[in-house]
Chains A and B, each alone.
Chain A
């Protein structure tokens, strides 16, 4: 088990190196003279251009630039924003990670609470009414983009019913209840897709497992449907579902960008968008790397939990 984790961590190194190189190379993609563009284009003053050039070290050889940048990045130093501010990029990022993470986790929670029972219900009678209903609703859940769901939810619950706020954000640490109130709409709009994906995964896995020989053994021992499905089938069907769950969480963190913007939530996504509109390269690079590291670490976590759930991996 520990050996596997270490092996996986080592395997991450080349991937992360490649990504960091790619992210660094973004600066060379900037059209024209990077320093001019980044300083604000034609309207920029000479001093400002030189300041940017100085700050990013754009005159040094590329490899030297990269190594310096990488050396700083592994120490979580992504520099400071081109647009001043006393906070370093990392300070800003670390303040925003819990916001995005909280949103994604709440969305995932809603997705699990809705998706898993729907999947179980559908698997009880493949081809039955519930199953067909599940197929239709999950098709819709997968097709409707989360930002449109968000708009519909705002229209219904914020505008027409006035139950929940359409915008705004409260820190969880300041007021958990208010946090929940402001998070319900964004989290629900994000949750629709993972709920549908999870329902389908659970349904398929459960149908598969219910046909297995060991489930037949459980029936033959005189088990009740609740016991056979709940104890014998669900645990085995849950192992692949955990994989989907982890993939959904990583997708949610990346997918939250638009939702954060729509609901004015100060997470990583809106930070990135603000940086984009200003071509604020250090911020773009820093946030992208942060997303990648979160992504690969979550995937690793999924693999570990997979091993933990599966006795064949755990005990040997």
Chain B
């Protein structure tokens, strides 16, 4: 904004230079030579006693006019060529691009110098030279945009309607190329201005009596040892103007929505979710009574801070896991199950996420109050995690042996050789064939299933007491899914660790879990043992999930998908969050939010749960 105002003022000053200047810029000895800034001469005078302010204003006139000429010249050459090249494609495009390659393989300044060198010095020749030097960049840009726009449907439609090519280019493609081009031009303007000043500074651009900022710099440089002010004035003007053009370009790009969206400013720590209790929520007292489970999550509430304000994505979630128990968390995408599982080890990035309420008590300690150094000792050691996407969860820059060895050495006091031996054992444990050779492979050399095995091996490196598996089979194909599930089951039997298994697949739950937590739209809607859940689902959402399951519905019945989709956390319905998709919804369901209460034999979030039991 400030940049635009500055540029407008500068432009006005350049146009109305005679009104803005206090003196004739060429008049000699209007003041004493080299006098400093004063009331009579705002910026002082130069070596010949000429008024610097007036010279600066008239210099702006020359610099801006030249800059404009160069841009117009370059656009006139590059827009038609770029449009043509991108639209036509094929051989023509190839030849044009090779020529542009050749042009841009000469450094821009050198190219401009060589051209000025043969044409002779002078502002016009310098302008031509700079225009030629910036043309390849413009051509490439216009061509790229054209290529992208050409493939869009509205252009193809005009084509099939038989619209003439020139009309398509002018009416359809050019307007779409124009707005990103404006940004590029604004950003190039600064560079053009610098180039012109540079050539003038070398005495190859503007010649006396016409004087641009560059030639003021040239004069000033000759007396820099005694009168540095003479270069500071034009140099600062030039730098400010270039800065203004750059900021204008950035601003335009943002305004046109072409840039990267800005992250919401929020304080946070790298690698550890912020815990910031919200004063309007009653604090949750950590559960301490009863037989000590391994993990107790209570009242967990997680917000994401967005530009529109905070959005609650996990709302008052509580559950516990006993040693050696396998707990399933199920729900559709967007139910908050992944965020819940990531919150346990505080792996939600802050910003945008933060935990605003609740406690996560593991082995008697609330993980949400631990300092980073303590949290690190828990991660990968007491609690480990296996993620959904094995293709992107392994660092591509390191070998399997390196990554596994690191996981070992983070929590165990072994040397490099010991870690490698342990890494080999771990690979054998997770059933990777030829483990010795695999140690020196990079992740990209392994299949998805193999990578997930490596990730499981990393997670098991310190014999954790709790393994959190966040949809570990979703990204894999069916046969591999079964293998990974078998592996997890046998490892659980071998080591007796507890597992939290996050999935949207009830079949997997039936296979693997002891107990199940059903989540919907950020809330727990039902909690039950696997047998109870499958035999007598109480929440209509659970019932819907079961009806959509081929194993349960059987061959004779039709599979019924739940109509509609999970509402986004920004647009939750009033009352029961499930009611718009529920076949049994009543006015009561629409009026009031429903609490998670023990109804019958288990906690359920539905007022009709007792009537609906099948």
- What residues of chain A have their CB less than 8 Å away from a CB belonging to chain B? 14-16, 18-19, 22-23, 26-27, 29-31, 124-128, 139-140, 142-145, 147-148, 151-152, 154-155, 158-159, 166, 210-225, 228-229, 231-232, 235-236, 250-251, 253-255, 257-258, 261-262, 272-273, 275-276, 279, 281, 284, 287-288, 291-292, 295-296, 310-312, 315-316
Contact = CB atoms under 8 A, between A and B. Distances in A.
13 contacts: A27-B118, A31-B119, A128-B267, A140-B239, A144-B242, A148-B238, A151-B228, A154-B228, A220-B379, A222-B379, A276-B116, A291-B107, A316-B445
A22 to B, nearest CB: 7
Given A19-B105, A19-B106, A140 B393 contact: no
A274 to B, nearest CB: 11
A23 B114 contact: yes
A288 B182 CA distance: 32
Given A144-B239, A255-B107, A284 B231 contact: no
B204 A315 contact: no
* Centre residue among A143, A159, A288, A316 by max chain B CB count within 10 A: A143
A215 B347 CA distance: 11
B67 interface: no
B410 A147 contact: no
A295 B217 contact: no
A214 B242 contact: no
B197 interface: yes
B106 A220 contact: no
Interface of B: 98-99, 101-103, 105-111, 113-120, 190, 194, 197-198, 201-202, 204, 217, 220-221, 224-225, 228, 231-232, 235-236, 238-240, 242-243, 246-247, 262-268, 270-272, 345, 347, 349, 351, 372, 376-381, 384-385, 387, 389, 392-398, 406-407, 410-411, 442, 444-445, 455, 458
A14 B98 contact: yes
A147 B392 CA distance: 46
Given A213-B393, A291-B106, A159 B267 contact: no
Given A23-B114, A295-B106, 19 more contacts: A19-B106, A26-B114, A139-B243, A144-B243, A147-B198, A151-B220, A151-B235, A159-B228, A166-B225, A222-B379, A223-B271, A224-B376, A232-B395, A257-B109, A258-B198, A262-B221, A279-B118, A281-B118, A312-B444
Contacts of A258: 109, 198, 201-202
Contacts of A219: 271-272, 347, 379
* Centre residue among B101, B246, B397, B455 by max chain A CB count within 10 A: B397
Contact of B395 (A214, A224, A261, A310): A214
A276 B113 contact: yes
A80 B99 CA distance: 29
A235 B239 contact: no
Nearest to A144: B239
Nearest to B444: A312
A276 B406 CA distance: 60
A220 B343 CA distance: 11
Contacts, number: 228
Nearest to A12: B105
B114 A148 contact: no
Contacts of A253: 107
B99 to A, nearest CB: 6
Contact of B120 (A31, A255, A257, A272): A31
Nearest to B406: A221
Nearest to B468: A220
B258 to A, nearest CB: 15
Contacts of B109: 254-255, 257-258
B264 to A, nearest CB: 7
Main secondary structure of the interface of B (DSSP, over half): helix
Given A219-B379, A222-B380, A284-B118, A147 B217 contact: yes
A139 B107 contact: no
Nearest to B462: A222
A217 B455 contact: yes
A-B interface, 5 closest residue pairs, ranked by CB to CB distance from nearest = A254-B107, A127-B265, A143-B243, A18-B102, A222-B380
B293 to A, nearest CB: 22
Given A236-B397, A284-B117, A15 B392 contact: no
A145 B444 CA distance: 44
A1 B470 CA distance: 38
Contact of A143 (B99, B118, B231, B242): B242
A43 to B, nearest CB: 15
Nearest to B397: A235
Nearest to A124: B270
Nearest to B379: A222
A211 B111 CA distance: 41
Nearest to B378: A222
B397 A217 contact: no
A214 B221 contact: no
Contacts of B198: 145, 147, 258
Contact of B239 (A148, A215, A222): A148
Contacts of B378: 222
Contacts of B190: 143
B106 A292 contact: yes
A233 to B, nearest CB: 9
A232 B228 CA distance: 48
Contacts of A311: 396-397, 442, 444
* Centre residue among B190, B231, B266, B377 by max chain A CB count within 10 A: B231
B97 to A, nearest CB: 11
A217 B397 CA distance: 14
Contact of A145 (B114, B119, B194, B264): B194
Nearest to A224: B376
Nearest to A126: B263
A291 B110 contact: yes
A226 B605 CA distance: 44
Nearest to B346: A219
Contacts of B381: 222
Contact of B396 (A27, A261, A312): A312
B201 to A, nearest CB: 6
A157 to B, nearest CB: 12
Contacts of A223: 271, 376, 406, 410
Contacts of A155: 224, 228, 231-232
Nearest to B101: A15
Contacts of B445: 315-316
A122 to B, nearest CB: 12
A235 B117 CA distance: 44
A142 B458 CA distance: 44
B202 A261 contact: yes
Contacts of A217: 387, 393-395, 455, 458
Nearest to A254: B107
A257 B110 contact: yes
Contacts of B243: 139-140, 143-144
A276 B197 CA distance: 17
Contacts of B394: 214, 217
A218 B247 CA distance: 37
A217 B471 CA distance: 15
Contacts of B217: 147-148, 151
Nearest to B391: A213
Contacts of B407: 221
Contacts of B101: 15, 18
A24 to B, nearest CB: 12
Given A124-B270, A291-B110, A151 B224 contact: yes
